[in-house]
Amino acid sequence: MPMEPDAGPAHRGPAVQDRYPDDFAWCYGCGRHNPAGLHLKTYPDGDETVTVFEPRPEHMAVPGFVYGGLIASLIDCHSMATASLALYRRDGHRLGDPEPVPRCVTASLKVDYLRPTPLGVPLTVRGRVVELGQRKAVVESELYAGETLCARGQVVAVLAPPAMTPGPAGAERRPG
């Protein structure tokens, strides 16, 4: 499904994760407030979204290759951000507007590991929305090491339910 072009990564505008509300910015994969997290950043790039992440040595599966759980995390967080951006745009916003970007949770995450993913090179994940509903989006993401397609994911993202929406009780659950 085409997405309206926006400032791409070359413009280095805000990332989707920069525009999540503070209370929703603690995710291990992409929360800007989580000091121990991966701090993944997703940028619009034409009809797609893109992120680049360089795994650290401790992210290994066996020496020289990336742990599949990390690959799943990158696909998960990047796809959530892709879905959030699509829902935001559907509601008439552009990234950079003052209104925060809505937060999605993962309803389903499927990853196909196509080839071993080498450590020591930046990984690029590209995402696109293939179905957009009222409260959900289905996103397909592909992970590349250089030019080599190493993994592909299909993710169902749903707007965060009340049970995961921080209120006063949620604030107590936040890390200090």
Ligand X SMILES: CCCCCCCC(=O)SCCNC(=O)CCNC(=O)[C@H](O)C(C)(C)COP(=O)(O)OP(=O)(O)OC[C@H]1O[C@@H](n2cnc3c(N)ncnc32)[C@H](O)[C@@H]1OP(=O)(O)O
Q: Which is nearer to ligand X, 106 or 124 (CB)?
A: 106
Paired residues of 154 in beta bridges:
110, 140
Return the residue matching tokens 């999540």: 20
Is-contact 21 100, C-beta < 8 A?
A: yes
Query: For ligand X, which is the closer residue by CB, 60 or 105?
Result: 105
Nearer to ligand X, 77 or 123 (CB): 77
Which CB atom, from 11 or from 91, has the smaller least distance to ligand X? 91
Are 106 and 76 in contact by the 8 Å Cβ rule? The answer is yes
Nearest to 138 by CA among 122, 119, 158: 158
Which are the contacts of 163, defined by CB distance < 8 A and separation ≥ 6? none
Q: Shortest approach of ligand X to residue 72 CB, angstroms?
A: 10
CB 71 → ligand X: shortest distance, Å? 15
Question: What is the contact surface with ligand X in residues (CB under 6 A)?
Answer: 24, 27, 76, 80, 103, 105-108, 133, 135-136, 156, 158, 160-161, 164
What minimum distance in Å lies between the beta carbon of 133 and ligand X?
4
CB 49 → ligand X: shortest distance, Å?
Answer: 15
Q: CA–CA separation, 23 vs 10, rounded Å?
A: 28
